[in-house]
Amino acid sequence: MPSSHPQQLNEIIDLIILTDPQKLLDIGVGFGKYGFLSREYLEMWNSGNEYLKWTRQIDGIEAFEAYLTPLHKQVYSKIFHGDAMQVLPTINERYDLILMIDVLEHFTFEDGLKVLEQCRRCGRNILISVPRSMSEQGDVYGNPYEAHKYNWGEKDLAFIKDKFFLPNERSVICYVGEDWQKISSIIKKRNTHKRLVNILEFFRLKKVVKLILRKNHGNK
């Protein structure tokens, strides 16, 4: 599919915003969702620029040109046409963030490792998402690149040192790269704060309930 399930949108967009890349590469752009959302939240929510006057570089790679529409031309700075295995070695850019959202499962394990190696070469950080349970899939919309070839899991990415995994029910979400500790620390602090707020709210409600019960008991 030239798309991906919506249950990971919050996590992925949050990680993109926290990384705040000036240069981003979206591998397997498909329908263009993550290029569009990256452009919206990095440009329109994070600057006072003129409307549609972009200041960030958002590039993409797409092997199946039939997916590309006029929307892609508006959103992306540049789109490389071709298989990522052949395109990545030709790229001399150094991106702040490379997106591989529901892309890696379309490569065999051996080819996927080669793609990740190239991503490490031309990207400071990589955001990977793969389905936890991969369904059988062949061509979609006449696109042979849509075939599922390997069900990647956390164990397959264990060899990468500078990374962290973000919990998600349906996807394995892995953030890799130079900023992994900074981003992971922000998320941990934020989650700790949420848990503390929830605990305080629990005890506050518990105290209120006790007062109500005492009051009702006293009125009997």
The string of pLDDT tens digits covering residues 16-50 is 999 999 999 999 999 999 999 999 999 987 666 67
- Tell me what the pLDDT averaged over the chain comes to: 87
Tell me the H-state helices in 45-179.
Answer: 70-75, 84-87, 109-122
Q: Which CATH number applies to 6-178: 2.10.70.10, 3.40.50.150, 3.40.50.720, 3.40.50.2000?
A: 3.40.50.150
Quote the pTM value: 0.84
**What is the torsional sign of CA 137, 28, 88, 94?**
negative
What pLDDT is recorded for position 5?
76
Considering the chain, what percentage of its residues have pLDDT values greater than 90? 67
How much is the average pLDDT of 142-157? 88
Residue carrying the six token digits 């939240």: 41
The string of pLDDT tens digits covering residues 50-103 is 777 889 999 999 999 999 999 999 999 999 999 999 999 999 999 999 999 999
**Contact yes or no for 197/176 (Cβ under 8 A):** no
Looking at 159-213, which runs of residues are DSSP E strands?
A: 163-166, 171-177
Closest by CA position to 159, among listed 124, 106, 120, 132:
120
**Contact yes or no for 28/103 (Cβ under 8 A):** yes
The string of pLDDT tens digits covering residues 113-140 is 999 999 999 999 999 999 988 777 777 7
What pLDDT is recorded for position 143?
78
Task: For residue 67, count CB atoms less than 10 angstroms from its CB and return exposed for 0-12, middle for 13-18, buried for 19 or more.
Answer: middle
What pLDDT is recorded for position 46?
65
What pLDDT is recorded for position 133?
83
Domain ranges of the chain: 6-178, 180-220
